[in-house]
Amino acid sequence: MNFPLTFEPSQVFKPIELIDKGLNLHYVFDIQRLPDSVLKVLKEQNKDLSDFKQLILIAHAGKQLWRTVEVCGITSLKTSSKNPIDDFTNISIDTWFNQHHPKMHKKIIYPSSQSIPLQELGLLARWHYRSPFLVGINNLYGSWFAYRSVVLCDSQFSNPVQPKTQSPCESCQTKICISKCPAQAFDASTFNMDACLDYRLKKSSLCQHTCLARIACPVAVNHQYSEEQLHYHYGVSLKMIRNVK
């Protein structure tokens, strides 16, 4: 007797609790369909990659994540953690999986010590376009989004409906970000990273805890981070620069 084949239906990846916290951008990749360049990195760093079917990219866009963390107490999180936003993200994702998919095998590979090609994944998800000031940008959120987590998962999720994005820089006529950079880190075709970093390290720098080029960008200003959020994120990067320079 022949029995009909049965398939487990896919489930749209729409974690409402994460969305409400501000972890509101999601994209699900089938691992075997990823480009070879990405697969190579994943295989080198994850010997158990064959245990998983999918990779989930999670980002925050706009101000909601920071507002949620503020309600939870950013001061206390800073006291108890060296990386409060990362730890908050990991805890939130673990909690969601434990509540909704407790038997599902998953592994958070970012944030971690792994070097993940986030920008390449963002390009594949069509969230990420290159801006003159090197921060990823799109027409919906401007540059006010950031990659927060990458999860390997033995799942059969399908993608939620993805908003259509494009690069706002291609149609930008003024390029005001270039003229507003006090480090003069831009030229006709490249960005001078050393000029940017050296300027940020100056005691008189106007960009220690912000980026005036990024602030000047007129795209999606309604999603622009608060002064407190800018101060936090750029404070983290400033410490990293000081450790390297």
Per-residue pLDDT tens over the stretch 140-161? 999 999 999 999 999 999 998 8
How many other C-beta atoms lie within 10 A of the C-beta of residue 24?
19
pLDDT attached to residue 73: 67
> 192-225: string of b/e by CB count within 10 Å (b at 16+)?
eeeebbebbeeeebebbbbbebbbbbebbeebbb
The pLDDT tens digits for 99-130 are: 999 999 999 999 988 899 999 999 999 999 99
Q: Write out the two tokens for 61.
A: 């866009």
**Alpha carbon of 9 to those of 153, 157, 158, 231: distances in Å?**
16, 9, 10, 45
Q: Tell me the whole-structure pTM to 2 decimals.
A: 0.90
> Where residue 7 falls among pLDDT bands split at 50, 70, 90?
very low
Q: Measured between alpha carbons, how far is 23 from 59 in angstroms, rounded to an integer?
A: 6
Q: Write out the two tokens for 133.
A: 């000031």
The pLDDT tens digits for 23-56 are: 999 999 999 999 999 999 999 999 999 999 999 9
Q: Measured between alpha carbons, how far is 79 from 202 in angstroms, rounded to an integer?
A: 27
* pLDDT(165) > 60: yes
